[in-house]
Structure 1
Amino acid sequence: MEAPSAIFQKEAKAGHVPGRLASIDALRGFDMLMIAGGGQFIATLGGKTGIPLIDSVAAQFEHPAWNGFTFYDFIFPLFLFLAGTSLAFSVTGALAKGVSQTVIRNKVFKRMLILIALGILDKNAPMDIFDPAHIRYGSVLGRIGLATFISALLYMKFSTNRRLYIAAGILVMYYLTLILVPVPGFGAGDLSFEGNLVGWIDRNFMPGILKQGTYDELALLTQLPALCLTIFGTGAGDFLLEQDAAGPKLRKLFIFGLAGIVAGLAWNAVLPINKHLWSSSFIMLTSGMAFVMLATFYWLIDVKGYRKWAFFFRVIGLNSLVIYLAVRFIDFNESSRLLFGGIYKHAPENWHEVYNALGGFVLVWLFLYFLYRQKIFVKV
């Protein structure tokens, strides 16, 4: 396979700049929907309807205490994966326009610093900048920024296959590290809440406070496996950028997706699927699911042309950073209570939280729709 730089040179000569795929924005919007109130709404339905299926779906929006997996665990990995997919399009487009790799690298580096700063603000507001020992430095946005920066460097240097090999190598190395490196007081291979290597490294080397006390799932060692999701996402982006017909692209996405799911479930036999540890089995499972979901959205929206239903999600996906921070700093649920509480108070009391969560989500979407109509799209 040719190196990415050779492919970019051909693109530039042909004057071809890859266009934006509606399916990527829609899937990102679906993902942010779960973060911005959709997941909370579904979770509140548990135990309300008396319908076992709805209760089962609602249970999928609670994180397991330690080992195990629910659909809610998939939300953040999917975003990391899509960050890589979008990266493939943006870097390819920039290079096709003649932008140098140095300029791209500097831009992505600045973006990483901004996301790290916003992530620290998000996790600590109101933040006492004069007490750095009590600031939490690990964050969702910081992880996205770091993973995107490293993935961009790899993307401009290595071919698709080599990047996928690098990601697989990282996951194997991470697995071996967790089971072979002894933890003082616990020994090697301890994957318990108290005795795992991730927590020991966080307690001894991570500055500031740790979310879980004994460790922080967004701190140091887990950056490595999380990075692999974004690398896998760049691979998916490359598949979509190929000049082939839609059929071969879909086959590759589905094959990689099914292979990832099978590998993750098989690896679970020796390394439990665990979001807290970002275990290698967890990464393979969620990356496989991401490939499949991307293939499904791509087939429905960009291949079959069923776009109208996706508009609802695209409105969210086009301003993902805005809504991530908005739901942190704007109390949409309180606004829902003030606006709709006089209506839903006549419903049974155990349904109040359901209607309030629904109202909060409606306000979130209307806010994003207003930005969409005004053509305000905030990017970093």
Structure 2
Amino acid sequence: MSTSPQPERLLSLDAYRGLVMLLMLAEVLHWENIAKAVPGSVFLAFMGHHQSHVSWEGCSLHDLIQPSFSFLVGVALPFSLASRLAKGQSKVQLTRHAFGRALTLILLGIFLRSLGHPQTYFTFEDTLTQIGLGYGFLFLLGLTPRKIQWVVLAVILVGYGAAFAMHWEKDSNLAARFDQWFLNLFPREERFVHNEGGYATLSFIPTLGTMFLGLLAGGVLRNGQSPQKRLKVFLLTALVLLISGALLGALGICPVVKRIWTPSWVLFSGGWCFVFLTAFYYLVDVRGQKRLVFPLVVIGTNSIAAYCLSWLFVELIEKALYRHLGHTPFAIFGVAYEPLLHGAATLTILWGILFWMHRRQLFLRI
């Protein structure tokens, strides 16, 4: 059995993951609706914009949730592999676990998406299923030499872009046509025609590119370099990715569209992921500001539980608050701000559940 030491867990990754999940849970604050109810407020308009997805081309803070979650899956993979190898697991065992995890993520995503439907709602464009579809391939890629990894990334970006042949319009592209065939192979309430948001199953292919960028970052975090060297690599990578992604969009070569995960989106959103990773790594692991990010760590160490809570308990908590407290306590600043206070109370309860789990070392793992 291997006697190599267990890799140290980086708190900065948990904090970054916690921020990502907090942004998702914070949808209960309804900033976009409040901005509509109070027109003319620059601050509310700003908050509303960044808590909603852009209609097609461009980027808001909310659009960075899914790429960040996917990116962090890649960052965590080298640590997971090292941990399991340290326990003496063989490559066969590692492979079985990786593909088992991928299948679990896909099935969990379908289960959550089916809530509120009279039958299983087969869809594969949400965060968990997209990661699940690509995770097995990411694992295999993580076992290959770095040169091969870069070649695969280039093939994904160039090949996926070429397959679209410059047709990036909503519901009239390769991925949309694929879903019109693929999704109708499953039992459905009614025939699938199009996704209202333009999201597509095949986006898991470029999402794999996002996860690979995370795999690259995870390798840097484990390569024994000094923190200062790592920060320089992260910042340079962020700059290159942001500029290249933005240029592809500005020049009309490939628009920056999250909904179909265009190659330029992989680069642009990947650049922002490196920015966030740099900030958290510097703040937590270099400067040692662990107490400052503790509320985020509570969420980040139980990200799957947080994801499930957002699907299973938000509506239950929202209704319970109104049932037992009424509307008056949440409307003290006016009816327009009632959703904000009601959402803040819901968010506090959700965090309290995760804190209770954290204190008792109850972590949901896949």
Q: Same fold (TM over 0.5)?
A: yes
Structure 1 residue corresponding to 2:127, chosen from 134, 140, 159: 140
Distance 1:212 1:37 in 2: 31
Cα 1:204–1:38, aligned 2, differ >3 Å: closer, same or farther? closer
Structure 2 residue corresponding to 1:274, chosen from 250, 253, 257: 257
Residues 30, 343 of structure 2: 8 Å contact kept: yes
Instruction: Name the counterpart of 1:362.
Output: 348
1:340-359 aligned at under 5 Å gives the runs: 340=325, 341-359=327-345
Deviation at 1:144, TM superposition (A): 1.6
Structure 1 residues not aligned, in runs of 5+? 1-8, 180-188
| DSSP 3-state at the match of 1:102 | helix
Distance 2:91 2:331 in 1: 58
Structure 1 residue corresponding to 2:304, chosen from 318, 321, 337: 321
Instruction: Name the counterpart of 2:181.
Output: 204
1:62-101 CA-to-partner distances (Å, cap 9, x unmatched) read: 2122222222111101000001111111112222332211
| DSSP 3-state at the match of 1:200 | helix
Instruction: Name the counterpart of 2:25.
Output: 36
Distance 2:81 2:22 in 1: 26
Instruction: Name the counterpart of 1:182.
Output: none
Distance 2:28 2:224 in 1: 37
Opposite residue 169 of structure 1, the aligned amino acid is V
Cα 1:344–1:164, aligned 2, differ >3 Å: closer, same or farther? same
1:122-133 aligned at under 5 Å gives the runs: 122-129=112-119
1:261-306 CA-to-partner distances (Å, cap 9, x unmatched) read: 1111011121111112111111110111101110110010001101
Opposite residue 312 of structure 2, the aligned amino acid is F
TM-score by length of 1: 0.87
1:20-60 CA-to-partner distances (Å, cap 9, x unmatched) read: 10000000000000111257444455254954244223212
1:169-188 aligned at under 5 Å gives the runs: 169-179=155-165
Residues 98, 135 of structure 2: 8 Å contact kept: yes
Structure 2 residue corresponding to 1:295, chosen from 278, 283, 289: 278
The yes-or-no answer on 1:224 pairing with 2:224 is no
Structure 2 residue corresponding to 1:76, chosen from 63, 66, 89: 66
Distance 1:355 1:16 in 2: 47
Structure 1 residue corresponding to 2:141, chosen from 154, 167, 170: 154
Distance 1:27 1:165 in 2: 28
Instruction: Name the counterpart of 1:263.
Output: 244
Opposite residue 226 of structure 2, the aligned amino acid is A
Opposite residue 362 of structure 1, the aligned amino acid is T
The yes-or-no answer on 1:62 pairing with 2:61 is no
Instruction: Name the counterpart of 1:5.
Output: none
Deviation at 1:126, TM superposition (A): 4.1
Opposite residue 192 of structure 1, the aligned amino acid is E
Distance 2:232 2:348 in 1: 37
Cα 1:144–1:259, aligned 2, differ >3 Å: closer, same or farther? same
Shifted more, 104-113 versus 35-44: the winner is 35-44
Distance 1:59 1:219 in 2: 23
Distance 1:17 1:86 in 2: 14
1:36-115 aligned at under 5 Å gives the runs: 36-37=25-26, 40-46=29-35, 48=38, 51-115=41-105
Instruction: Name the counterpart of 1:3.
Output: none
Cα 1:219–1:58, aligned 2, differ >3 Å: closer, same or farther? closer
Deviation at 1:114, TM superposition (A): 1.3
Distance 2:242 2:192 in 1: 28
Opposite residue 140 of structure 2, the aligned amino acid is L
Instruction: Name the counterpart of 1:304.
Output: 287
Distance 1:96 1:164 in 2: 27
Aligned residues, how many? 356
Structure 2 residues not aligned, in runs of 5+? none
Deviation at 1:165, TM superposition (A): 3.3
Considering only aligned residues, what root-mean-square deviation do their CA atoms show, in Å?
Answer: 2.4
Distance 1:139 1:73 in 2: 13
Instruction: Name the counterpart of 1:16.
Output: 5
Distance 1:278 1:37 in 2: 23
Distance 1:231 1:29 in 2: 21
| DSSP 3-state at the match of 2:160 | helix
Distance 1:258 1:339 in 2: 51
